[in-house]
Amino acid sequence: MSLSHPTRRSVVRWAAVAPLMARGAQRKILIAHRGASAYAPENTLPAYRLAIEQGADFVEQDLQITRDGVLVCLHDVTLERTTDVARVFPDRARTESAGGQSVRRWPVVEFTMEEIQRLDAGSWFDERFRGTRIPSWQQAIDAIRGKAGLYPELKAPELYERHGFRMEELVWETLRRNRLHEPGADPKTPVILQSFSAEALKRMRALGCKLPMTMLVRRGEQRRWLTPEGLREIKSFATGIGPDKTLIREDPGVVARAHEVGLTVTAYTFRSADPGGFPDVRAEMAHYLYKLGVDALFTDNPDQFPRRP
């Protein structure tokens, strides 16, 4: 069952994103992965704004928590890959062992929002973006609201729980404060939650959240979620699955199995830097959307998304 061939069930399962779907009945959904991250530094306002300009239906934010409990947009649980934290706070590193080597890391949760605002999150990507800051989730919401949907990922909730934070509660409070906590609350800003943590999604449900939710599935032991039993279990707390695209390529039948139990299928991640053996990322995305029948996908290259009438 593909959204390009609508059935009553597919209409029902996408009801929560109906305002966007109304632009083109049952059309495929484009999610900008960390924003338009092929062209601007990931999870920054320039990347989010460019994603909107390039026609994204949803803009993804990966969420972390600062020492003073602020939700910020960053993929990694540490700051050193995408900021100049090593230069600004050279004495605040933690030394860890990784692959037999000693590495220095700067965990987000050990820095306040004020400290994080001193970091440059743009020049690692390109000098043109020097001075770009890590946005709070609130800043991201303000930048995206009314122009596209929000697709926040609850990253590493178990890590933050060890530091005394309940990420689910912070996400829920923020959604409520912004009046985005109910399906259809803002027709121009649908919200879909995602996580690799089933527990995090279940906790969101326990808080009363009725928004659509995507259970992410990575390679390895999480593959068990894609069995008929696993999919039925996901259906009890989420509305869709979000598998690593290679899991779908190896087992294309998972799309029909998920649809059969009423789950959407959203594949990750499609990027021009690695088009998975296809001539280019547009051809790769077209294969997954129109041959394999996925409903939506995450891409670093929103401008390459192959829309079809």
* Contacting positions for ligand G3P (CB under 6 A): 33, 62, 75, 153, 194, 216, 242, 268-269, 298
At 196, give phi and psi (nearest 5°).
-80, -10
Pairwise CA distance, residues 255 & 304, whole Å: 23
Pairing state between β 94-98 and 101-105: antiparallel
Q: Which residue is nearest to ligand G3P (CB)?
A: 268
Going from the C-alpha of 234 to that of each of 8, 225, 227, the distances in angstroms are 21, 7, 10
Rule CB under 5 A: say whether 42 interacts with Ca ion: no
- Closer to Ca ion by CB, 76 or 153: give it: 153
Residue 268 interacting partner from Ca ion, ligand G3P, none (CB closer than 5 to 8 Å by kind):
ligand G3P
- Closer to ligand G3P by CB, 59 or 93: give it: 59
Residue 216 interacting partner from Ca ion, ligand G3P, none (CB closer than 5 to 8 Å by kind):
ligand G3P
CB 288 within 8 A of CB 296: no
CB atoms closer than 10 angstroms to residue 12? 10
Residue 269 interacting partner from ligand G3P, Ca ion, none (CB closer than 5 to 8 Å by kind):
ligand G3P
Residue 269 C-beta: closest distance to ligand G3P, Å: 5
Pairwise CA distance, residues 80 & 90, whole Å: 11
Q: Which two tokens stand for residue 279?
A: 């001539």
Q: Residues 37, 46, 50, 62: which binds Ca ion (CB under 5 A)?
A: 62
Q: Can you tell me whether residue 186 is helix, strand or coil?
A: coil
Residue 137 C-beta: closest distance to ligand G3P, Å: 15
Give me the torsion for CA of 75, 81, 85, 89, rounded to 10°. Answer: 110
Residue 123 interacting partner from ligand G3P, Ca ion, none (CB closer than 5 to 8 Å by kind):
none
- Closer to ligand G3P by CB, 57 or 153: give it: 153
- Closer to ligand G3P by CB, 3 or 296: give it: 296
Binding track, positions 141-160, relative to Ca ion; x by CB under 5 A: ------------x-------
Residue 171 C-beta: closest distance to ligand G3P, Å: 15
- Closer to ligand G3P by CB, 107 or 242: give it: 242
| Exposure letters 107-124 (e unless 16+ CB within 10 A, then b) | bbbbbeeebbeebbbbeb
- Closer to ligand G3P by CB, 172 or 298: give it: 298
Residue 151 C-beta: closest distance to Ca ion, Å: 8
Residue 75 C-beta: closest distance to ligand G3P, Å: 6
Q: Can you tell me whether residue 52 is helix, strand or coil?
A: helix
Pairwise CA distance, residues 109 & 128, whole Å: 28
Residue 196 C-beta: closest distance to Ca ion, Å: 9
Pairwise CA distance, residues 48 & 134, whole Å: 12
- Footprint of Ca ion on 153-192 (CB under 5 A): 153
Considering only CA atoms, which of 240, 239, 245 is closest in space to residue 219? 245
CA-CA-CA-CA torsion sign (35, 36, 38, 40):
negative
Residues at the site binding Ca ion, with contacts judged by CB under 5 A: 62, 153
